Structure 1
Amino acid sequence: MNLSRRSFLRSSAAVSAASIAGSFASRAWAASDTVAIASLHDLSGPFDIYGAPSHLCMKIAVEEINAAGGLLGKKIDLKIYDAQSDINRYPQYAQKALLNDRCVMLQGAMTGAAREATRPIMRRYKVPFFYGSLYEGGLCEKNSFCVNTGGNQQVVPLLEWSFQNIGKKLYYIASDYNAPRNFGIWNHVVAKREGGEVLAEDYYPLDVTDFTAAIAKIQAAKPDIVHSCLVGGPAMAFYRQWAAAGMLKKIPIISIVFGAGNEHEVLAPEESDGVVVAYNYFQELDTPKNQEFLAKLDASVGKARPYINGDAFGGYSGVMLWAEAVKRAGSFEREAVTAAFESGIRWEGPAGVMTTDGPTHNTTQDVHIITVKNRVWSLIQKKGQIPPDTYGGRCNVFTNPNQTDFLMP
């Protein structure tokens, strides 16, 4: 086949652009004694209650790895980006991390909206995106790695326990954006399975602080259980108003997000005692590895640090699982690290054993149903080694390597 000079140049330019995008990071670390990874979190603004503790956990993981000699003979250089609770900054800073700082992985973008703004940038530049936040499940993408709980690992055990131990009639109140609405789907799935009923579901903007009408609607519906998926600082007003209305001891509250913003430390015990949640990790876990982890936190930043909850813990587990994949791969290259993650890595950390799952790019892990009293969490029930949901076999990066859309239960 004859190829004109113009056609050849066009083809070469296209190939070169793709190659350059994929090789920026590798060219940077190959000739250096350090390798850069990125923390992209909200360190200021209304969502810093989630972002700052997760970033702290990333910092502790990097310090631990570097203290042990680094990875493949290189120390890890943690590049820090504050998205300032502004969704527009996520793609901007992700691109800066990959092109300017040549990071070989990025973790953060904790909210659903932030995640969806960041994923396309990571795909374009062929750098692994580690997602450390709890989420609704259904992210099944070759370039993304989910190290926290998905819907079937968190909301399903919590709902099953609640329908079996509290009552069958559930009222759902949530913030109005994609993740709480997707979590709401699980209410109906599990209610049908457990013989329960979802009486109603109400969604409120993130800035709402007056829940008087909402509480009146719940009282009129007379549920056995209130399932709250209200997030952000303003949402704490609901719990204060619920307690002020004398409802805290009348209708139990369950939640898969309460505590992720350390609400239990902000609210008074009389405003929060008895709330039941489910997380893979909580700070009161009494295991030797967790005591070691907490000691490292205290030594690094002091005892005035924030409480480390299950959402924040993904900042630590994500870096550690990535590091295990790098060690198994013997490389920082995306394809080698991906293959190592997909091979099934077993890592025992502060939350117990976690094992990477190849087809879903999620993880198998323990989940704990816990309740709060006097700002301290205690264990109700442990659900051991829950695998990620395959969504009926639809979530499989081996058979669907180009899939990027979210899957629904």
Structure 2
Amino acid sequence: MKMSRRMFLRSSAAGSAAIVTGSFADRAFATSDTVAIASLHDLSGPLNIYGVPSNLCMQVAVDEINAAGGLLGKKVDLKAYDTQSDVNKNPQYAQKAILSDRAVMIQGAMTGAAREATRPVLRRYKTPFFYGSIYEGGLCEKNSFCVNTGGNQQVVPLLEWSFQNLGKKLYYIASDYNAPRNFGVWNHVVAKREGGTVVADDYYPLDVTDFTAAITKIQAAKPDIVHSCLVGGPAMSFYRQWAAAGMLKKIPIISIVFGCGNEHEVLSPDESDGITVAYNYFQELDTPKNKEFLAKVEALAGKERPYINGDAFGGYSGVMLWAEAVKRAQSFERDAVMAAFESKIRWDGPAGVMTTDGPTHNTTQDVHIITVKNRVWSLIEKKEQIAPDTYQAKCNVFTNPNQTEFLMPEI
């Protein structure tokens, strides 16, 4: 059955959370022919442009697993919760998924704020958290598994390429919350390494739509590169105003978030051509595995399906890597799955080979530097098998099993 966008915007969760006692090791799936996992994604509200395709990718993975016979003799049942672009809904629904649905894995809580609000709940109930979004890096926790790119895997290759090919003076303009500020630290790390200079760190509230003053400041600074980490619908105004000011062809824009909300499909080519980004996955990858994957996406969501970008792809890779860990562990229990994830699982998927990294609970993967023209992404350069950052050996869940705080790169 093909699923419409409207169907994806529904939350399949219902009922109130049950109060349970005893160990969560005694799961309801022990005597059931299904096993539940949960999706926490913004299927409505201003962040649904990110959440809908990510949830779709989770469903594609579940359908693929079930079509192949399921896991350990059980069908996987995806419980999709609409977190409604509300940070507070994420921990609330995480607890509900654990108590009511007996979910053995939860993925989502896409934004940094949602992730940080949700992690303590999952630690409390000893339920594995798979984080599928691109992020700034530095999440180093025993109960969490990061399956998308961290800062050193995405922003570092993009900045290295930019300093080597576009110039040495970088202007950073970003939304004002934790992730863009953490990404901003990487600008200084790589600039120092590459002999570049960050001429400005310029932050704006998420609701700003008038960037006239910002553009004037950039013009006065005369950088060689503008690095944009502006997110959300209002930030689209920056790209339109930048092009209207005649700047698109004068100073190149790079970004590690442009395209996450499929901005390249909303903006005209005159407003976006030439913007360069870095992602582990992009839909135009010309490989047999990617063609198979996209055929499954279209079979589920129809021809009007959303573009699948690098951020949304984490919905698919997270479920598939979890499934590989379950198969290796021959168990759904957290500690067994955790040990399997830590044993260097190698999965060859639509984005290339991904390998789980035991000490960091992140993944080694390929990253593609790509540029847009006429709303289509094309490859500039492929960076193969970038390992996750260890943050000067501080990120090691074996030696620091109780660590929960974020780690930051040193300038």
Shift, 1:20, TM fit: 2.5
Percent identity, aligned pairs only?
84
Residue of structure 1 equivalent to 2:107:
107
1:333 offset after TM fit, Å?
A: 0.1
Task: Return the alpha-carbon distance in structure 2 between the equivalents of residues 144 and 366 of structure 1.
Answer: 21
- The answer as to 2:356 corresponding to 1:356 is yes
Cα displacement string for residues 11-36 of structure 1 (whole angstroms, at most 9, x for unaligned residues): xxxxxx9983533xx42100100000
For the residue of structure 2 that corresponds to 1:260, the secondary structure is: coil
Structure-to-structure mapping, 1:287-366, within 5 angstroms: 287-366=287-366
Mapping of 1:54-133 within 5 angstroms? 54-133=54-133
Aligned mates of 1:374, 1:310 — CA distance in 2: 19
- Given that 1:40 and 1:107 are in contact with CA atoms closer than 8 Å, whether structure 2 keeps it comes out as yes
CA distance in 1, matches of 2:332, 2:172: 44
Q: Deviations over 1:76-111 (max 9, x none)?
A: 010010010011111110100001111000000111
After superposition, the Cα gap between the structure-2 partners of 1:93 and 1:192, relative to the gap in structure 1 and judged at 3 Å, is same
CA RMSD of aligned residues (A): 1.0
Aligned pairs, number = 391
More deviation, 326-335/297-306 = 297-306
Give the gaps of 5 or more residues in structure 2.
1-18
Letter in 1 for 2:280: N
Taking the aligned partners of 2:52 and 2:22, their CA distance within structure 1 comes to 33
**Contact residue 61 and residue 320 of structure 2 kept, 8 A:** yes
| Structure 1 contact 21–125 (Cα < 8 Å) conserved | no
Structure number with larger C-alpha Rg = 1
Q: 1:21–1:124: 8 Å Cα contact kept in structure 2?
A: no
User: Quick one: which amino acid aligns to residue 39 of structure 1?
Assistant: S
Instruction: Flag the 1:21–1:187 CA change in 2: closer, same or farther, 3 A.
Output: farther
Secondary structure of the residue that 1:380 maps to in structure 2? strand
Contact 1:42 1:85 in 2 (8 A): yes
Which has a greater percent of helix?
1
Contact 2:20 2:99 survives alignment (8 Å): no
State the AA in 2 paired with 1:320: M
What residue in structure 2 maps to residue 209 of structure 1?
Answer: 209
Q: TM-score, normalised by structure 2?
A: 0.94
Residue in 2 that maps onto 1:242: 242
Deviation by residue 1:237-262 (Cα, 9 ceiling, x = unmatched): 00000000000000000000000000
Partner residue, 1:174: 174
Distance 1:352 1:403 in 2: 31
* TM-score, length basis structure 1: 0.95
Q: Which runs of 5+ in 1 are unaligned?
A: 1-16
Deviations 1:146-167 (A, max 9, x none): 0000000000000000000000
SS in 1 for 2:226: strand
Q: What amino acid is the match of 1:89?
A: K
Large movers: runs of 4+ above 6 Å: none
Instruction: Give the Cα–Cα distance (whole angstroms) in 2 for the partners of residues 213 and 170 of structure 1.
Output: 18
CA offset digits 1:196-228 (Å, max 9, x no partner): 000001111111111010000000000000000
